[in-house]
Homo-oligomer: A and B are copies of this chain.
């Protein structure tokens, strides 16, 4: 914590997209009790080249020690700080079907920095029931406090997605993660990221087809 530095470099988009992977690896290693890691080892784990990793990290500042490597906890703090995880973000999941339930109980979201604050569904049969120890509320209950950072997750069928997006925007949400297979139209000051599962399959199919599997030596996961 306490990144009271100047923090004045523009972090490139491509770098931002990779920071979560680095953070995950760092947290895993920290949990294992490891204290230091080299750019080579961290890059290997994250599935990128070590040069790319060092370039990425140097955009946040100079937190490594030459000849030694990076202190895992320190680096994890700085990466988390750069991502804006010092403040707490509230998450509203809209659509409490299988997918919404899965996202709620799934370990990936209730992670440091994010608080699943609202589970929303308008079906009166599920409102009031429990999912993972949280109560499902109707849309009207989504009333962020002034200044509260809210991320809305759309887990409804495609047919309802645009309408949900509109209501999220009206409620003041400026960041949306869309799991429905539709393109959303929102005002320019609202950002949308879409997770398109069919698209992911199609991209895999393309690559296997063209056996464009020329990849890093021992291939690791890659994002985007």
Contact = CB atoms under 8 A, between A and B. Distances in A.
Nearest to A207: B191
Contact of A102 (B28, B97, B184, B205): B97
A183 B20 contact: no
A213 B189 contact: yes
Given A21-B183, A45-B183, A98-B98, A190 B203 contact: no
Nearest to A183: B221
Copies of this chain assembled into the complex: 2
A213 B188 contact: yes
Interface stretch (A63-71, A81-89, A121-129, A138-146): A81-89
A98 B102 contact: yes
A24 interface: yes
Interface stretch (A32-40, A50-58, A174-182): A174-182
Contacts of A175: 204-205, 207-208
